[in-house]
Structure 1
Amino acid sequence: MTSDPVEVLRRLVRHATVSHRDPDQDDVAAFEGQHATLAEAFPLVHEHLERTRVGRHGLLLRWPGSDPAADPVVLMAHQDVVPVADPAAWSHPPFGGDLGPGADGEEAVWGRGTLDDKGPLVAVWAAVEALLEQGHVPARDVWLSSGADEEVAGTDAHEAVAELRRRGVTPWFVVDEGGAVAGGAFPGVAAPLAVIGVGEKGTTRLELVARGAGGHASTPARGGPTARIARAVVRLDRASMPPRLPSPTVELFRRLRPHASAPLRAALRPLLADARLRPVLTRLLLAAGPETAAMARTTVAVTTLSGSPAHNVVAATATAGLDVRVMAGDTVDDAVAHVRRTIRDDDVEVRVVEAGGPSPLSPYDDPAFALLERTTAAIFPEAVPTPYLMMAATDARHFHAICERVYRFTPLRMSKAQRESIHAHDEHLGTAALRAGVAWWTRLLEDLP
């Protein structure tokens, strides 16, 4: 291979490709510089694959396969990253691409995007480059889709889908970022879980708005906008939506049970055998921590707050932004009704800023999913491959419009600490994990039927 994937990732991290809801705020030079780095690092990809630009910085590339009649596959990884809130909180510069010991003591690349989603981007492109170098031709067309506005729910993925639809492309399956080879994913299970997302929660944005007279801070009145918003936030923090147990989560428990500790294995036996005991299984998820609890219900997170523009002014308007992740089986209307019922204040307006329901569920009992399982077993024999319902949103959700099998899996080993660093500080990816990710994609491409 022309370029070492570790060095390529280090170089990509140094391009601060932060996306914004207003695309005019994007650093065009950062995105174009990243494209130049990709072209230099993966010359065979750029020589042999047909390249189409989507949106301002998105890329769609086609690798022709040996059977043009076979339905192609689409492999996805986005180019953009989220902003860095506090660079001082990082152990290494967030856009430095430094090499250093990771959380497990092994060598790692540090920086924003190493896990989300430049590491996965390098892994899949490096696999394609290596196979091209060997003269490999895939059994069917392979499309690489790499949007540049995923973090702001932009339009690149829409445009990629529209382009594929215009060409009459109906993918056999799509794989985007998502679940990982997750260590420490569930208490009582020592083996890592290779969680493959077969669906994802919907992403909905709500805003709470309270209005009042405002005025000078020296003569405040009780029950003003900020007080009403604060009370609403506290009530939401204390009330959760009813839990649910979708079928992929039940299957996850079935698959992890043989690998669980003896007490957990014994406890799970009756819970899985008798559907009437599923509420107990749900409570087990809720008690295991926020990562697993989010698998069992629609979540409501207060993410932004605003009030007075000045220290000595009583706010005439106060707002709170809510990020709602809608579970399969719930609807946006269900979530809005829960918020209204919980805050119990008709003087607080509940505005729907952006409505997004849960995705359809992709099958996990057919040849496409079986290929992902076999590939995972070959590269990560220590892991338990299992379907699950993904909590975060991805560009993949748009591909349900043209494909029945849309999966979300990042073939990288990630510790709990690493997973918690995504969109936070000290994001880093082990170099051995990156190379294993390249091996996973290589094996998948070689084994395409």
Structure 2
Amino acid sequence: MAGPEDPRFDVMGNLHAYLEQTFPRVYSKLDVEKIQKWGLLLTWKGTDEHLKPVVLMAHQDTVPVNPSTIDQWTYPPFDAHLDESGWIWGRGVADCKNTLIGLFAALDRLIEDDFTPTRTIILSSGFDEEIGGHRSAAYLASTIESRYGKDGVALVLDEGFTGVDTAYGVPFARFGMAEKGAVSVQIEVLTTGGHSSVPLSAHTGIGVLAQCITALEAHPATPLLQKGNPLLQQLQCAADHGDVDKQWRRRIRNPKQWKNIGLEMAKQDPIARAFLGTTQAVDLIEGGVKLNALPEYASASVNYRIDFLSSVNSTLEHISSILEPVVADLNLTFSSYGSHPKVDNNVVRLSMVGTSAIEPAPLTPTDGDAWELMAGTTRHIWEGAVVAPSGMVANTDTKYSWPLSRHIYRFVPGSLDLIKNFHTVDERIHIDAHLTGVRFFYKLLRNTEGWQAA
């Protein structure tokens, strides 16, 4: 794994220079530290050191742009073009430079307004979130923990997939109160080679691999709407406050209906399916070297996003239980997570990919002081909005912040109608959404004044 000294990260220096030139008041007022060379840790010390700080997060890096798609962009992906309609186009404007710049802008305005925080405010910004955060977010979180202790932070706020939009007939603001886990596995098939004119069995190594993949896709995890799932909490809020059908409202309030509702939602909507259980995606496959040579090696890699209420181990066990009878029927050895390390032919190996295992995040409480601060601020910016729990189906840098606080929120402070195309062609954000985000961060920090959470 390349470290922060890798020259590919040097471009972050240009971003740091821009931030310092654009927000000189922030750099002069706050303590600015570089963690792991490119990680930014800004601290605005409060007047009461007995109060737990708040931590606001946004990462600096972006996913790359596939060169083959550049001509599909309306404007060049790294020009940050502002069009006549108020849209800013470019890679990273939605994920999540809008948040990073919005936080700096809010801090700058607070300084201009002579705000003095009672509670310490921390901005934590890593540079490798899109490749796991191991080089920066992990060190930023451990630095904060070394200073404030375990559970020493009142509130952590980072990027999310949910924001403010119209749902169930009313404005809905959804906070990510949970985050799915993740793990990836590799299936390797090692078989005897030879000339393809004389196949040695009904299935070549690639055929065996296809049988394994087919079995996995035929036995996905069952989507389940159950207590503790943030989608159920969201639906219950919709039943209480949304403009919804009376029969639907009765079904949501009846636990005996939850199983059927979950199955119906999963069938109709892939996003709902992702919220309702562990998902699997076969993303990489390799095998064979020549058309007339039997493949001696074939492999596939499968990515799992683990249900909010499940675990890495249960996911790994499920995968193994599906593959074991398939491999046995093919009369091959099944080496499950290293169970037969010395077998190197006519074997199917199942292994976990590197450090891919991430447990589902602890569930953030949906009541208490932190919830009231977040919900109250949100209702102030978006009048009439129903505030509801939601979840994060991907992973964020907050996975390193679990020791810091029970109160971790993942949220896009803007209308999702005005934030488009995360991670793909024509990523863009409307200036109105960006400015609303600045207002949200400003008001949130203003509201910490007099906030009596420990």
TM-score normalised to structure 1 length: 0.87
1:198 matched to 2:177? The reply is yes
- Distance in 2 (CA, whole Å) between partners of 1:309 and 1:24 is 36
Residue 217 of structure 1 deviates from its aligned partner by 5.6
Give the corresponding residue for 1:12: none
The answer on whether the counterparts of 2:419 and 2:433 sit within 8 Å (CA) in structure 1 is no
1:318 matched to 2:303? The reply is no
| Cα 1:171/1:436, change in 2 over 3 Å | same
Residue 144 of structure 1 deviates from its aligned partner by 0.3
- Distance in 1 (CA, whole Å) between partners of 2:388 and 2:89 is 29
CA offsets 1:284-304 (integer angstroms, 9 cap, x no match): 431341111111101111122
Give the corresponding residue for 1:127: 106
Query: In terms of Rg, which structure is larger?
Result: 2
- Distance in 2 (CA, whole Å) between partners of 1:416 and 1:129 is 24
Residue 246 of structure 1 deviates from its aligned partner by 4.2
- Distance in 1 (CA, whole Å) between partners of 2:64 and 2:213 is 25
| Cα 1:383/1:322, change in 2 over 3 Å | farther
| Cα 1:314/1:438, change in 2 over 3 Å | farther
2:251 to 246, 270, 276: 270
1:292 matched to 2:272? The reply is yes
SS in 2 for 1:139: coil
Q: Which moved further from structure 2: 396-405 or 26-35? A: 26-35
Give the corresponding residue for 1:433: 433
- Distance in 2 (CA, whole Å) between partners of 1:91 and 1:97 is 11
SS in 2 for 1:321: strand
- Distance in 2 (CA, whole Å) between partners of 1:154 and 1:401 is 16
State how 1:93-132 maps to structure 2 within 5 Å: 93-100=76-83, 106-132=85-111
| Cα 1:338/1:312, change in 2 over 3 Å | same
Give the corresponding residue for 2:157: 175
SS in 2 for 1:432: helix
Residue 158 of structure 1 deviates from its aligned partner by 1.4
Give the corresponding residue for 2:141: 161
Q: Which moved further from structure 2: 360-369 or 337-346? A: 337-346
Match for 2:433: what amino acid? A
Give the corresponding residue for 1:422: 422
CA offsets 1:376-410 (integer angstroms, 9 cap, x no match): 11112253211112111011121111212111112
CA offsets 1:165-200 (integer angstroms, 9 cap, x no match): 22235111101111432436x6xx233432111120
Residue 428 of structure 1 deviates from its aligned partner by 0.8
- Distance in 2 (CA, whole Å) between partners of 1:379 and 1:165 is 31
1:365 matched to 2:367? The reply is yes
The answer on whether the counterparts of 1:77 and 1:146 sit within 8 Å (CA) in structure 2 is yes
Give the corresponding residue for 1:442: 442
Q: Runs of 5+ in structure 2 lacking a partner?
A: 328-333, 335-346
2:72 to 89, 98, 101: 89
- Distance in 1 (CA, whole Å) between partners of 2:74 and 2:212 is 37
The answer on whether the counterparts of 2:222 and 2:277 sit within 8 Å (CA) in structure 1 is yes
TM-score normalised to structure 2 length: 0.86
Give the corresponding residue for 2:350: 350
1:378 matched to 2:380? The reply is yes
Residue 260 of structure 1 deviates from its aligned partner by 4.2
| Cα 1:443/1:95, change in 2 over 3 Å | same
CA offsets 1:194-222 (integer angstroms, 9 cap, x no match): 21111201121211111223445666554
Match for 2:276: what amino acid? A
- Distance in 2 (CA, whole Å) between partners of 1:260 and 1:314 is 60
| Cα 1:113/1:300, change in 2 over 3 Å | same
Match for 1:44: what amino acid? R
Match for 1:438: what amino acid? V
State how 1:10-49 maps to structure 2 within 5 Å: 27-49=8-30
User: RMSD across aligned C-alpha pairs, in angstroms?
Assistant: 2.3
- Distance in 1 (CA, whole Å) between partners of 2:414 and 2:203 is 50
Match for 1:144: what amino acid? L
The answer on whether the counterparts of 2:418 and 2:430 sit within 8 Å (CA) in structure 1 is no
Q: Runs of 5+ in structure 1 lacking a partner?
A: 1-19
SS in 1 for 2:272: helix
Q: Which moved further from structure 2: 62-71 or 434-443? A: 62-71
The count of residues paired between Structure 1 and Structure 2 equals 419
SS in 1 for 2:186: strand
Give the corresponding residue for 1:16: none
The answer on whether the counterparts of 2:419 and 2:429 sit within 8 Å (CA) in structure 1 is no
1:149 to 91, 115, 128: 128
| Cα 1:126/1:394, change in 2 over 3 Å | same
- Distance in 2 (CA, whole Å) between partners of 1:325 and 1:26 is 32
CA offsets 1:137-159 (integer angstroms, 9 cap, x no match): 12200000000111111321211
| Cα 1:138/1:121, change in 2 over 3 Å | same
1:71 matched to 2:52? The reply is yes
Give the corresponding residue for 1:7: none
Residue 254 of structure 1 deviates from its aligned partner by 1.4
Match for 2:390: what amino acid? Y
Match for 1:287: what amino acid? K
| Cα 1:310/1:195, change in 2 over 3 Å | farther
- Distance in 2 (CA, whole Å) between partners of 1:226 and 1:112 is 37
Give the corresponding residue for 1:230: 210
SS in 2 for 1:371: helix
| Cα 1:365/1:288, change in 2 over 3 Å | farther
Q: Which moved further from structure 2: 315-324 or 147-156? A: 315-324
- Distance in 2 (CA, whole Å) between partners of 1:428 and 1:214 is 50
SS in 2 for 1:291: helix
- Distance in 2 (CA, whole Å) between partners of 1:407 and 1:118 is 18
CA offsets 1:127-146 (integer angstroms, 9 cap, x no match): 01111111111220000000
Match for 2:272: what amino acid? T
The answer on whether the counterparts of 1:306 and 1:318 sit within 8 Å (CA) in structure 2 is yes
Give the corresponding residue for 2:411: 409
The answer on whether the counterparts of 2:235 and 2:252 sit within 8 Å (CA) in structure 1 is no
- Distance in 1 (CA, whole Å) between partners of 2:321 and 2:154 is 43
The answer on whether the counterparts of 1:271 and 1:280 sit within 8 Å (CA) in structure 2 is no
- Distance in 2 (CA, whole Å) between partners of 1:62 and 1:310 is 58
